[in-house]
Amino acid sequence: MATYRELLQQVKGEIDEIDAPDARARHAADVTLFLDIREQDEWDEGAIPGAVHVPRGQLESRIEGLVPDRSREIVVLCAGGSRSAFAARSLADLGYENVSSLAGGFTDWKRNGFPIELPRTLSPKQRSRYSRHLLIPEVGEAGQQRLLDSRVLLIGAGGLGSPASLYLAAAGVGTIGIVDADVVDDSNLQRQIVHSTERLGEPKALSAKRTIEALNPDVEVKAYEERLTSENVERILADGWDVIVDGADNFPTRYLVNDASVWHGIPVVHGSIYRFEGQATVFKPRLPGSAAGEADGARAEEGGPCYRCLFPSPPPPELAPSCAEGGVLGVLPGIIGSLQANETLKLLLGVGDTLEGRLLLFDALGTTFDEVSVKRDPTCPVCGDRPEITEYIDYVEFCQPSASQSADGARR
Amino acid sequence: MTSVRIPPTLRNEVGGERQVEASGASVREVLEDLARRYPALESQLFEDGELAPFVNVYLGGEDVRTLDGLETSVDGQQLILLPAMAGGSRELAFN
């Protein structure tokens, strides 16, 4: 039987150790993964910049998800170098081939005056609320922080905006903007689950704000009780948004959202529904400035298609019945709006493959998903190589040439 | 015969069918055959003899405009007709 001291000596003899200056050199080279296995409260008080934190007790269960590549160079550290020695041996037992323990640990690193940072940390309440996210390597604490720092603008708090806003809020997207001029009507409640019977007559933007803030107090909701128009779009976008979720119910707004998003370089997560069928895609137009800049090859990254590449013009009004005329299965916007939330979260986290360049077609009757490809149109009047439309147009006239006059007078 | 998927907004024009068969070697021939049998579709598919700008036609998942347009050979693959849907809960008016 060995004492602790004997066991530690034995383990240290079986692993590689490096000292702080050596670790500093590797840190500067920026290829080594620094794995900090201290407890949460130790980590909260300071850490090596860029280090990944996994408390010792969770190391074996989480390391494969975090570091699938077993040949990756890892420096494991604790406060003084003892816990990390045992951890290094455990990692070797798991097949990690390139593991060193930082002798002297974080204490020695700090004593040498090497760089440290105060990690931005979640509160204990947040850690509990988002625990299922924290367990996913693609999200984790850094990803959750990113969501909390993110700003998503929802066009419409209706069928699509309801599930999208609820899931984005639950996921901890820190700021959610909602543009909707409508009030809650009893015919909405068959599908618009962010509202409720007691909210009848209440502005939808405010009703959604109440529901969302009750669901998650981390989320700040900016309610815009107005319809998006050429007159207010710049003011609303000036509040700064990372992603726009388009759940608009009419073509003029769709084209307006598109043009504004192209000019501002904001990705749009698109969804639309009718009866039993829905569509979803992601428009990620190229960054502003890069359109004219064929010469500056450094930033010549070609953007994805925009809404106008997919549908250069709307159908004539008589061929485009709305859900108010044609109806919609209540759960359909739940499915499409949830897909929009999924795409939005991936865009914010920078993980996975989005629907950019693909239009997903869902048929609720057959329960089938199909997809068709969507390509950027170099002749697109807005995002093409030689854009003809460079400022807001009369979108009502564009979408409904014959009816624009009456639309002006007889609204609502 | 080529099977053509009919979007929900055009189903009234084809007697409520979600999918119909039509014959022809090219996209144009298939759509013209459709329009002959369902005359109400004509104005929703064609504008001045060309594909109307507000409807997309996909063959094997690709927009035929990125292939050979109406002259694209259908080759037994399924066609999907897809007009834009605004998809919300209100009238089309920009109100």
Interface test with B, best of A190, A281, A323, A376 (most B CBs within 10 A): A323
Alpha carbon distance A313, A255 (integer Å): 9
Interface test with B, best of A277, A313, A362 (most B CBs within 10 A): A277
Between β-strands B55-59 and B62-63, what pairing exists: parallel, antiparallel or unpaired? Answer: antiparallel
Show the 3-state SS of chain A: CCCHHHHHHHHHHHCEEECHHHHHHHHHHCCCEEEECCCHHHHHCCECCCCEECCHHHHHHHHHHHCCCCCCCEEEECCCCCHHHHHHHHHHHCCCCCEEEECCHHHHHHHCCCCCECCCCCCHHHHHHCHHHHCCCCCHHHHHHHHHCCEEEEECCCCCHHHHHHHHHHCCCCEEEEECCCECCHHHCCCCCCCCHHHCCCEHHHHHHHHHHHHCCCCEEEEECCCCCCCCHHHHHCCCCCEEEECCCCHHHHHHHHHHHHHHCCCEEEEEEEECEEEEEEECCCCCCCCCCCCCHHHCCCCCCCHHHHCCCCCCHHHCCCHHHHCECCHHHHHHHHHHHHHHHHHHHCCCCCCECEEEEEECCCCEEEEEECCCCCCCCCCCCCCCCCCCCCHHHHHCCCCHHHHHHCCC
Q: Using 50, 70 and 90 to split pLDDT, how confident is the model at B44?
A: confident
Interface test with A, best of B89, B90, B91 (most A CBs within 10 A): B89
Alpha carbon distance A25, A20 (integer Å): 9
ipTM: 0.90
Question: Distance from first CA to last CA of chain B, Å, rounded?
Answer: 45
Give, in order, the Cα–Cα distances in Å from A376 to each of A226, A304, A312, A356.
31, 6, 11, 10
Mean pLDDT over all residues of chain B? 87
What pLDDT shows up at residue A402?
Answer: 57
- Decide if A249 contacts A158 (C-beta within 8 A): yes
Mean pLDDT, residues A148-175: 98
Contacts of B56 in chain A (CB under 8 A): 310-311, 372
Whether the pLDDT of residue A164 is over 80: the answer is yes
| CA angle in degrees (0–180, nearest 5) for A327-A332-A336 | 125
Q: Using 50, 70 and 90 to split pLDDT, how confident is the model at A401?
A: low
Q: Using 50, 70 and 90 to split pLDDT, how confident is the model at B69?
A: very high
Nearest CB among B9, B44, B95 relative to A274 is that of B9
- Give the residue among A175, A182, A321 at the shortest CA–CA distance from A241: A175
Alpha carbon distance A182, A274 (integer Å): 20
What pLDDT shows up at residue B76?
Answer: 87
Residues 6+ apart with CB under 8 A from A218: A126, A129, A148, A172, A174
Mean pLDDT over all residues of chain A? 91
Q: How close does chain A come to B28, measured CA to CA in Å?
A: 20
Interchain contact A34–B (C-beta under 8 A): no
Instruction: Give the strand order in the sheet containing A151-155.
Output: A220-224, A175-179, A151-155, A243-246, A268-274, A277-283, A358-363, A368-373
Q: How close does chain A come to B2, measured CA to CA in Å?
A: 18
What number of other Cβ atoms are within 10 A of residue A130's Cβ? 24
Mean pLDDT, residues A265-274: 95
Contacts of A328 in chain B (CB under 8 A): 87, 89
Nearest CB among B53, B82, B90 relative to A324 is that of B90
B45: enclosing H helix or E strand: helix B42-45
What pLDDT shows up at residue A321?
Answer: 65
What pLDDT shows up at residue A322?
Answer: 64
What pLDDT shows up at residue B92?
Answer: 34
Output the six-digit token pair for A127: 């850690």
What pLDDT shows up at residue B70?
Answer: 95
Q: How many interchain CB pairs under 8 A, A with B?
A: 145
Residues 6+ apart with CB under 8 A from B84: A251, A254, A272, A310, A311, A314, A315, A320, B54
- Interface contact B85-A412, CB threshold 8 A: no
- Interface contact A324-B87, CB threshold 8 A: no
Q: What is the pLDDT of residues A229-264, one digit of tens each?
A: 999 999 999 999 999 999 998 899 999 999 999 999
What pLDDT shows up at residue A287?
Answer: 55
Mean pLDDT, residues A256-279: 95
- Give the residue among A168, A295, A183 at the shortest CA–CA distance from A244: A168
Largest CA distance in chain B: 45
- Percent of chain A scoring above 70 in pLDDT: 91
Q: What is the pLDDT of residues A175-222, one digit of tens each?
A: 999 999 999 999 999 999 999 999 999 999 999 999 999 999 999 999
Whether the pLDDT of residue B19 is over 70: the answer is yes
- Interface contact B83-A249, CB threshold 8 A: no
- Interface contact A159-B88, CB threshold 8 A: yes
Interface test with A, best of B81, B85, B95 (most A CBs within 10 A): B85
- Percent of chain A scoring above 90 in pLDDT: 82
Contacts of A403 in chain B (CB under 8 A): 93
Whether the pLDDT of residue B82 is over 50: the answer is yes
Alpha carbon distance A35, A32 (integer Å): 9
Between β-strands A243-246 and A268-274, what pairing exists: parallel, antiparallel or unpaired? Answer: parallel
Dihedral, A135, A137, A142, A143 alpha carbons, nearest 10: -90
Whether the pLDDT of residue A41 is over 50: the answer is yes
CB interface of A with B, residues 44-103, below 8 Å: none
What number of other Cβ atoms are within 10 A of residue A275's Cβ? 21
Q: Using 50, 70 and 90 to split pLDDT, how confident is the model at B95?
A: very low
- Interface contact B54-A182, CB threshold 8 A: no
Interchain contact A140–B (C-beta under 8 A): no
Q: What is the pLDDT of residues A43-100, one digit of tens each?
A: 999 999 999 999 999 999 999 988 999 999 999 999 999 999 999 999 999 999 999 9
Alpha carbon distance B54, B42 (integer Å): 13
Whether the pLDDT of residue B83 is over 70: the answer is yes
Output the six-digit token pair for A64: 């494969």
Give, in order, the Cα–Cα distances in Å from A146 to each of A171, A310, A344, B72.
11, 31, 13, 46
- Percent of chain B scoring above 70 in pLDDT: 89
What pLDDT shows up at residue A407?
Answer: 39
Alpha carbon distance A16, A263 (integer Å): 54
Mean pLDDT, residues A265-271: 96
Ranges A281-290, A310-319, A334-343, most confident = A334-343
Output the six-digit token pair for B38: 């369902």
What pLDDT shows up at residue B77?
Answer: 92
Dihedral, A336, A340, A345, A348 alpha carbons, nearest 10: 170
Contacts of A400 in chain B (CB under 8 A): 92-94
Whether the pLDDT of residue A326 is over 80: the answer is no
Alpha carbon distance A24, A116 (integer Å): 11
Mean pLDDT, residues B28-46: 93
Output the six-digit token pair for A71: 């040949």
- Name the least confident of A9-23, A265-279, A350-364, B75-89: B75-89
- The better pLDDT of the pair A303, A392 is held by A392
- Interface contact A250-B61, CB threshold 8 A: no
What pLDDT shows up at residue A97?
Answer: 96
Interchain contact A192–B (C-beta under 8 A): yes
Give, in order, the Cα–Cα distances in Å from A50 to each of A36, A95, A122, A409, B1.
10, 24, 17, 59, 61
Q: Using 50, 70 and 90 to split pLDDT, how confident is the model at A106?
A: very high
What pLDDT shows up at residue A285?
Answer: 83
**Identity at A408, one-letter amino acid code:** D
